[in-house]
Amino acid sequence: MKNQVQLITYVDRLTAGGFADLKALVDGPLKGVIGGVHPLPFFDPIDGADAGFDPADHTLVDPRLGDWNDVRALSASVEIMADMIVNHVSADSPSFKDYLEKGEASEFADMFLTFGKVFPNGATEQDLLAIYRPRPGFPFNKMTFGDGSKRLIWTTFTPKQIDIDVFSRHGAAYLDAILARFKEGGVTAIRLDAAGYAVKKPGTSSFMIPETYAFLGELADKARALGMEVLVEIHSYYRDQIEIAKKVDRVYDFALPPLVLHSLFTGEAGPLAEWLKISPRNAITVLDTHDGIGVIDVGAATDGRPGLLAPAALDALVETMHDRSGGESRQATGAAASNLDLYQVNCTYYDALGKRDNEYLIARALQFFAPGIPQVYYIGLLGGVNDMELLHRTKVGRDINRHYYTPQEVTAALDKPVVGKLFDLARFRNSHPAFEGDFALEQPSASRLVLSWTKGGERASLDVDFKSMTATIAHQGTGGDGQFAVG
């Protein structure tokens, strides 16, 4: 993957169109700003129960966005990452509909997970309580088959997202078909979505168990054989994330977003500094995503191991986000929203900072200087704010941060001073040779950090003082020496 700022976006929500419109943006106002694009699920359909993360046909581009020729055309301009949703398919997929209609007589009967298939001898109370859950409740839904019989189907996320048996003949063939289509479509990297839940085993948490690691390793080998790099998306305890990073090409740095907020809110640089010393170097760094702002990644482990932030500091972080957003994030998070995610606050990053341009640009500078390859969500790239109208209409918490832009809104956003300065930061990050070198971190005081990159005579450094809320970038090398203020 190119070591430049990456864009992650819904195609239609950024462009109000399809892949051809996204290519026009990439070749136009975003030229030099981004080095790659991760179009969020663009498969048929893009407007299912979970904004494309429940594909009925994972190998078909939603016709409203274009086709695979349009995807290949975009790949001529920038590298493309695509989601490979390994855990589930849509309840509206032809294969699951056939299974519901015919039951065990369906050719796809082996593809789906029932309660009985995972627990053939039944399950104890402890078996059920051991299952790791991203949301409250058990991961099963009662469904009625064509003959009137009822069975419990494994549904990790929603009743419209049906978990597959990745070891079954049809499940394995399904995943292989997706990889082959991606290769043909010009995709050079894949993100394994919900991968931590893909393997179920009685008596375990069924989340990132040894069998999961083995499965992901085999799947990654298949992808690499086709020339595709593999990113694994997992929210977990920070030390577990470090271990996972040793086994895959890339992981997300989900600890960075809350730790940056903590430093900006409190003036305390210590927890962020401790993380940057040990964070995976093969990370994709983020501040905002299509989901919320994760907090589980800096909290304590379920077995009691301490987190990067103490419980009181974590509570204060969440409350400050709610306060800075004027209470809007509270309306989109937890019991207030229909998606009761246990590990995130739903809010744009810009709103979480109270729309303070200086702090927002400091946050982005920290992201761009942190070890890894930075990825920016389309809302964040345009300095977007909470979409309360969409939230109230859909009553889905994550929609607060999933605005549908019109072309006029994109044009207006591109003219915002904070966006112009963010683009300048991105161009600097993309072009300075020092970022291909070695990372170093200094903490001159309790409220100050210096992040630097060096390659031969090339050097770039970011000096942030969280007490005075100032940041300066200095650079030396063949392109000339200089420095400039962030914000």
How is residue 30 written in tokens? 């975003």
Q: Does residue 240 lie in a domain region?
A: yes
Residue 455 and residue 359 in one domain: no
Least confident of 32-46, 70-84, 294-308, 418-432: 294-308
Of 337, 420, 345, the closest CA to residue 383 belongs to 420
- 275 & 415 share domain: yes
Q: How confident is the model at residue 106, as a pLDDT?
A: 97
Are 127 and 173 within one domain? Answer: no
Is 341 flagged in the annotation as binding?
A: yes
For the beta carbon of residue 475, count every other beta carbon within 10 angstroms. 20
In this predicted structure, the answer to whether residue 8 has a pLDDT above a threshold of 50 is yes
Confidence band (pLDDT; 50, 70, 90) for 338? very low
Place of tokens 């394994």: 192
Please check whether residues 411 and 448 belong to one and the same domain.
no
**Selection from 383, 453, 469, 476 nearest residue 423 by Cα:** 383
Is pTM beyond 0.85? Reply is yes
Measure CA 2 to chain center. Answer: 18
Number of Cβ atoms within 10 Å of the Cβ of 218: 11
Query: Is residue 119 exposed (0-12), middle (13-18) or buried (19+ Cβ within 10 Å)?
Result: middle
Q: Do 455 and 406 fall into the same domain? A: no
User: What's the domain count of the chain?
Assistant: 3
- In the listed set 163, 189, 217, which residue is the last one of a domain according to the structure? 163
Backbone angles phi, psi at 301, to 5 degrees: -75, 160
Token pair belonging to 193: 């979505």
Burial string for 33-67 (b: 16+ CB within 10 Å, else e) reads bbbbbbbbbbbbbbebbbbbbbbbbbbebbeebbe
Q: How many whole angstroms separate alpha carbon 44 and alpha carbon 55?
A: 6
Phi, psi of 89, deg, nearest 5: -130, 175
Q: Determine the Cα angle at 17 with ends 11 and 23, to 5°.
A: 65
Mean pLDDT of 52-63: 92
Task: Report whether pLDDT(340) > 50.
Answer: no
Q: How confident is the model at residue 292, as a pLDDT?
A: 87
Q: What's the CA angle centered on 23, arms 21 and 28, to 5 degrees?
A: 95
Of 106, 139, 163, which residue is a domain's last? 163
Q: Which residue has the tokens 């962020």?
A: 272
CATH number for the domain spanning 150: value is 3.90.400.10
Residue 118 included in any domain: yes
Q: How far apart are CA 164 and CA 89, in angstroms?
A: 7
* Separation CA 346–CA 216 (nearest Å): 29
Residue 128 pLDDT exceeds 50: yes
DSSP H or E stretch at residue 112: none
Residue indicated by tokens 């904070």: 418
CATH of the domain at 78: 3.20.20.80
Is residue 34 located within the same domain as residue 140? no
Query: Residues 6 or more apart from 208 whose CB is under 8 A from it?
Result: 196, 234, 236, 240, 244
Q: Quick one: angle between helices 417-431 and 357-369, nearest 10?
A: 10
Residue 323 among known ligand-binding residues = no
How many other β-carbons are positioned within 10 Å of the β-carbon of residue 312?
Answer: 8
Q: pLDDT tens digit string along 282-306? A: 999 999 999 889 888 999 988 899 9
pLDDT band of residue 208 (cuts 50, 70, 90) is confident
Kindly state whether residues 183 and 289 are assigned to the same domain.
yes
**Residue 393 belongs to what domain range?**
6-86+168-436
> Is 458 known to be catalytic?
no
Q: Assess whether 333 and 225 both reside in one domain.
A: yes
In the residue annotation, 193 being an active-site residue is answered as yes
Distances from the Cα of 210 to the Cα of 139, 157, 197, 205, angstroms: 20, 22, 12, 11
148 and 50 part of one domain: no
**Cα–Cα distance list, 249 to 21, 189, 282, 343, 392 (Å):** 31, 10, 7, 24, 39
Q: Which of 148, 163, 178 marks a domain boundary?
A: 163
- Rounded to an integer, what distance in angstroms lies between the CA atom of residue 46 and that of residue 56? 10
> How far apart, in whole angstroms, are the C-alpha atoms of residue 166 and residue 159?
19
| Tens-digit pLDDT profile for residues 218-240 | 999 999 999 999 998 888 889 98
Pairing of strands 229-232, 189-193: parallel
In this structure, is residue 61 part of a structural domain? yes
Considering the domain boundaries, does residue 120 fall inside one? Answer: yes
Is 239 annotated in a binding site? The answer is no
Q: Residue 119 has which token pair?
A: 């627990």
Does residue 11 share a domain with residue 149? no
User: Is 197 annotated in some ligand binding site?
Assistant: no
What is the tens place of the pLDDT at every residue in 387-420? 999 999 999 899 999 999 999 999 999 999 999 9
**Is residue 197 in some structural domain?**
yes
Is 350 annotated in a binding site? The answer is no
Contact 3, 435 (CB under 8 A): yes
Given the residues 44, 79, 193, 253, select the one marked as catalytic.
193
Q: Say how far apart CA 232 and CA 215 lie, in whole Å.
A: 12
Residue 229 assigned ligand-binding role: no
Q: Is the pLDDT of residue 337 over 70?
A: no
290: annotated binding-site residue? yes
DSSP 435: G
Q: Are residues 238 and 354 in the same domain?
A: yes
Q: What integer best gives the mean pLDDT of the chain?
A: 94
User: 57-61 and 161-163 as β-strands: parallel, antiparallel, unpaired?
Assistant: unpaired
Do 135 and 78 belong to one domain?
A: no
From the list 62, 79, 233, 328, the catalytic residue is 233
Among 171, 152, 160, 187, CA closest to 70: 187
What is the pLDDT, as a whole number, of residue 341? 46
One-character DSSP codes across 326-347: TTHHHHTSGGGSSS--SSEE-S
For residue 1, being part of any structural domain is answered with no
